[in-house]
Each structure stands twice: as structure tokens, then as C-alpha cells.
Structure 1
Amino acid sequence: MLLWVLLLILGLLSRQAAIAKKSVVEPRPSWTPLLEGELVTLTCHGVGPLKQEKAWWYKNQQLQEILSKNIQTNQPGEYRCQTQDSALSDPVNLVFSSETLILQTPYSVFEGDTLVMRCWGKNTGTVNYIAYYKDERKLPDFLKKFNVFFSLSRVDLNDSSKYHCTRIVSQWSTWTEISKPVTIQVQELFSPPELKTTTSEPIEGTPVNLSCETQLSPQRLDTKLHFSFIRDGTVITSGGKNSHVLQIPAIQTKDSGSYRCEAKAVTQNILKQSNYVKISVKIPVSQPFFNLSAFRAQASVGDVVEFHCKALRGSFPIQYQFYHENTILENKIAPSGGAASFNLTMTVGHSGNYFCKANNSFSYQLSENLTLSISDPIRSQPNTAIMGITVALIIILILTIVVLVVYFKLLRKSGRSSAPSPYRVSSISNLQEPVYSNSPSQKELVPIYGNVNPVAENVVYSELITSKEHGKEVNNTKKLPEIKDSPVIYAEVKQLK
């Protein structure tokens, strides 16, 4: 069902296209005006693919009861016809004259035709001489003076004018007869061509079509036209096969220029040129080169960095945009090509990725990313000082530890080499057998050994307590008296092995 509908629509469209072309009325003889009483045969020519056997005739815009392709008449009036597959024809005005002498011309004259005129009249005597005039000026007589025909070959639009003729007739006497002037309008065989293009600013590499558009007269649709296309004065192709379209599959920059086309009617040798169309091929921008003046992608706060962006190809003007991450920093336009650059004073927040964009309104390209690292010397100074102080403290601590270790080693060696003292602390093996001095003149010293607040398991601290009791023997089995406010003396620190 859908296919049937489509076929019906296509049939209607093709019918409308055929109807859009007019029928043509052809009179025989093909002269105007005619003498009264002459009989004229009119033929209706359609433009459809099928042979037309019938036609509708109109006289003075009134439909006649005639369905024949040919009719004969001797009545003046405006005649039109129409076939089944064609539109209503242009009118043919039949004019009959009662004048003694008339100048007969074709109903239609087209540029390139040979204009044949006939000075025709009633047989009133012997014709001795005939002359033809254009705008009251006698035309050169190239033919025999007794010939009733006069021709102008290959007329053009400038030959449109008023014409008349005269003749000298003799019978019993001689006299001159003058026809009424007839206006002859030479028609265009085809209209001046117009060059059309799909676009006047195509992008490089895209297809472009140029067409040379003209219109033949409905009465001369069988005229063969040849087309040529010219760029900057050079013929680039010739339409020897009656092709009015020039196809450029992939247009290049070398194809830019001023174009025009020519249409030529070969038989009539009529050549007409179109208007000029300027075609400018647009070049898409290439990927831009992007660089900056920072040394090895390093910069410090306060430095001025120059950003540089350049596209080697691309139609002008080119707009350049500079980005930090996805934020536009600057817009620059190069109206006649070249590069663009700008300067930026660096801050801490300017670290990150940079790129540029080249754009010429119909294409754009992005450059590669460049990463820039920004350092802050003001903030880095305190950090350096702190690190220096920390290192110094560590060195001092290490030196202190070394000094203490050396000191205690020396102290230990000096204790082993000296004589026993009454206040010497006994060996750790006699922790349960304290030794006391029995000198009565001295205070009793009662050494008591024990771990005081031990932090490491391999260190033993000794406490030496001074007693105020005199003259009493203290043994190791007696409980030591409680001594208040006695000073505590660390006698020795021994490293257990």
C-alpha cells in the first residue's frame, strides 16, 4: 500500500513537471500579417513523451469545441492551445489586413535566426522594384531588385526595430506602394546564464558543485547548448556533452579564484557569459605549537612568563586562546596569520597544566599540554631555617651523648685504679654485707644498696645514708634506723654485663 502511494505521488510530481512546460502553436504560413481571405493552418505541439493526437484550443480566451491537433482558420484573433501533458501555450495573434501592400515577418524571431521578410501585396500590376527600410533608413539591397524576400542573417537583440517596405508597380502607369511599419522584436534564444555554487567559501577537502543555469525559450527547447567554466581567465573544463554542472570532488587552495561560465548555442553560434563568482577556499587550522619562556617548566612567584602559540596553517583571521587548566587566561586575534603571545606574572596558584587553542570560526585545534611548577622562595626560607636548627640540635645531642659516654668511661677507669676509701661502696656481690668504718671520730656511714626507681634492668643504683649515731656498732643483721631528712647520694652507676 505504501509503495502504491509513493508511486502515485511520483506520478503526480512528474505530471506537474511536464505540465509546467508550455505547448507551442505553429502557424503555416508562418507570416504575419496575412491578406484578407488567406487560410492559415495552426498546429499544437506538446512537450510530453507521448505523441499528442488531441489538443484544446482557445480563441480570445474562449474554449473552442475542437479536439484536434491541427485547425484551419481565416479569422483574426488570439489563439492558444494545450495538450494533455503540457501547459497552455503562449498566444499567436492572427492578423488579416486589407491593405494593398504589407510587410510580412515571422511570428517570432530569435537571436541567431536569419530574419526573412516578405513585401507582399495584391496583384494590381507589374512589380518593378522593392526596397526595405529599418527605422526609415533604407537597407542595402543584396538581392535582385525584383525579389519579394529580404533576409538578415544572425540577428541579435539590437536588430529589434520598426521595418517597412516599398515597391514600384506599373500597369497603365507607374506608382509606388508603401506598407505600414511593423515592429519586430528579436527574442532571446536562452537567458544569460547564472553561475551558482553550493558555497562560495568551501572548506579545503570538501566537495563543491558549480552549475551554469539558463533557460531556453519554450519554442526552442530543442536547441543544443554547450557549457564551459572559466577560472581567472583560464578554461578549466568544457561541457561538450551539454553538462551545465562542474563537480569538484575535493576542493583545494589552488582552486580559489573568480569563476564564470559560458553557454553557447552551437548551431546559432550564440555565446553568453555569466556573472563572476569568487570562491575562497577556507583552510582549517592546524594543531598549534605551544611553548613558554620558563626554564625547564620551573618558575618562581613574581616571575614573568611569556606564553607563545602558533598555527602553521589556517585561513585568516585566527583567534588564539590561552588556558590554565580549563580557565581562559587571554584571547588574541591574528588578523593576517602569524602567532600570538602574552605575558603573565606568576603566583603560587599558577602551577598546573597550560595549553592554547587556535580557532578560525569554522575549525579549531588544541595544542599539547605543558605543566608549569611555581615555587615560593619566601615560604621556603623558614623551612630551610627550621631544618638547619633541627640538624644543629641533633648534632649537639650526639656530641653531648658522646661526651657523657667518654666521661663515664674515664670516671670508671679512675675509680678502679685508686686506693680503697672508707667511703667506697663495696662490690655488687656483697649487697647483703655492708661495710662500716669503726673510727669513732667519724660519723657512721651506713651504705644501703638497692634499685631506686630502676628504669633499665641492667643499671644498679646505690644509696649512702649518713647516720648520726656514734659509738654504736652496726651489724648487718640489725634493722637500720629510720633516718629522716637524710640526703641521698648516688655513689656509682654500673653497667651490668
Structure 2
Amino acid sequence: MLLGLMLLMCAPPFELTALRLMARPSRPVEGSSLTLTCSSTPAPSRQLDVPLEFCFFRDGRALWPGWSRSPELLLPTVWREDSGSYWCEGNTMASKVTRSLRVQIQVQRVPVCNVSLETQPPGGQVQKGERLALVCQAAQGTGDITFFWYKGALGLSLQTKTQRSLAAKFEIPAVSDGDSDRYYCAADNGHGPSLSELVSVTVRIPVSRPVLTIRAPGAQAEEGDVLELRCEAPRGSPPILYRFYHKNVTLGRSSAPSGGGVSFNLSLTAEHSGNYSCEADNGLGARRSEAVPLRVTVLTEDRKELLASGILEGLLGVLGPTILALCCYGLKRRLVSPWRRNTVRNPSPADQPPGRRPPGSPRRSPPSPVPSVSSYVNSPAPPQGQSVYGNVNVVSGEEVYSLVYRTQQDRPPPVPPPRTRVQDQDASATYFRLKKANLTDEDYEDAM
């Protein structure tokens, strides 16, 4: 033991010739770890049990825990403000302090990206008076992140919050009707803001107490009437489901997808007297209306007969004049039609354009020549009482028209009769209707 002590005292002192600082990784990212290693050159002899001490510094300040025997220092999480100039120092019990060269370390910041906005409760459906939370979250990003919340498409600023995390929350303690809108958020850590998508928030309002209205055709509800039950809740977010009750027995149900009221029709019988009510429900709680009493009047046999006779009299009062008018009109047509058929004639050949035959006239042979006696018409001394047939025309159907010229012989009338120019002759034209079904040229010649 004495020999060892003498050898230690006689041995030359150990001196550190140089120190070198190394950082892993050399370009750390915010939020990651950093390892610093201080190595000596040449390495200390392992035979000499001489303890060494190391200390790490940044920008002139010793890092925790100060001097230690470990040549490594682990920094679990580094941020942008941890960037700076690093070095290390080492010494022995018998040597002076030796310092390493400075190493510049820059901590890298990751920009925020993929920002999203979520609602609590999820889905954006919240009941009036409840709490609403808007959570803004970034998928990536380091350092201090500033979060912004906006309302509406125009971007009404609601709140700003800065914290070292990827998510932040904005709360509305009790929502009201005016909080129904679209929301979005933004996040920024110095590299520019990143925006989320628009998220719709709907504030749902529970239904108020509905009002039941009963409408009957007359002043009193009678058996056989069709009764209308209308139920409407003054307030409430759609859709609203309505149910109708008679003595707490469900009559039916109807939905109002856009809100408002609904109607239910009921054909009354004697059993429908009693209390009626309705219920409104939009998923936030059902509310029932007040009970409305109804008394159905049952018709007796006398009243039924009176009602039936009244209905019959009403129908006769409305339909009687119409039926009478139709009968008179039909009788008139039956009386007038034969007279029209016997009096209406087809146009004469004189009324038709030259060279045309009246429409509908059957074909006939050319008329026989007018007898020679017709040459005495309007002569100075014609035979007395002689009548001359000037033309015969067979018209369609059973009507035959004849043109007769009658001469005036002995005594001229005291006043000259009206004269008509017919081929420079005075004539009096007379038409006769001859009831002959089929008249041929042979019959005409026999008549002559």
C-alpha cells in the first residue's frame, strides 16, 4: 500500500489535451430529444483510476445538473428557444479545466397542417341552454401554436388562444337561438395560419305546449259529421311528430317535417263524445295539450226523416228548374223541327251563280221546251185565263218548285202593278210546294 501511494505521488499528472462536443441529432426538431456527448483526446488511461468531471453549457449558462462524471447529457424535449451555442468543459483532480469548441445547434420548428374543428356534443346538434365546445386540432405542428375561432362565413372572431399543444378548446356555456350558425378555426405557429373546414351548429329548441283546435261543419257536432282535429306547437325545432288522443286512446299520428301544425279528420259516431287531446314531440321531450271536451248529438228517427226530406227538397229546388227547362227545350225542338223541314227551301237557280247547280240537287234531264203558248206572255192579246209553266226544278228531298207565268187579259187594273224586269217582260212569280217524291221528265211532260 505504501508502494502504491509512492508510485501515485511520483507519477506525472494527467492532463486533458482536448475536448470535443457532439450533438445527436445535429438538427433536432421541436418536441424531440437531444443528446450531448463530451469526448476527450487522448482518452484517459484506464490503469489510472483518476475521476473526470464534465459540465455542459448553452450561451454561457450551465445546463442541469451541472458538473457530473457522465460525459453525456440527455435533453428529453427541445423547443425553438433551446437553439443556441453549446460547449462542454472537463477536469481532473490534478488538472486544470479544459473547454471544447462551441457547437451551434438550431432547433427546427414544424409548421401546423391539417387543422380540423370538432363539436361537443358531436354532430353539431345541441339543445338550447346546453354547453357547446368547439375543439380546434392540428395534425402536425411544433412550438407555441395560436388558435383562432370564427363564426359565420364572414369570419366573426370569437376567441384567440396560444398554447404549446396541437389542440385547443373554445366553449359556449349555454347556447341560445342565435348560436345556430357555421363555425371554423385556424392554427398558426409562425409559418402562417392553417384553416379548418366550416362546421354547422344547430341549436334545437324543445317543443312548447301544443294547442288543439276542433272544427265541426255546423254549430254542433252531430253523428255522421266529419270532424277536423288540428294540433300545433307554437315553438319547437322540426321535425315534429304529433299524436291525437280520445280518452287517452291514440286515434292517429302525423308528422310535420318543416314544423307547424297538422290536421286529423274523424267521422263522428255516438261513441266519439268525450275529451280530446294531442301531443307534440321533436325528440327533446314530448308535450301534451289541454283536454278539449266534445259532445256528439245523436239524431232521432224523426230528425233523420226531417233531415232526409230537407236534403231531398234542396236537391229538387236546385235540379227541378233545370230539368223543367230541359224538357221545354226538347219539346220546342220537336215542334219546330218539322215546320223548319217543310218551310226551308234550297236556293233557286236564279240565286246561284251562273252555270252552277244548287248543292245537293239530284241530276235530271234537261227540261222540255216551253210550249208555244208561253210565247204569248205579256203579248197585246193573250188568251184569257191561260197559265203557262215557265220552268220546273226538282230539288233534293221531297220538295218540287214550279215557276208559273199568269197573263192579265180583259181589264187592266186601275193602278199598274209593280213590274219586274225578267228578260224585258213583266211577270208575277209564284212558288208552289208539290208533295211528290220522285218526279221525272215524263211526269213533267204529262203535266204539260
With structure 2 as the length reference, what TM-score do the two structures score?
0.43
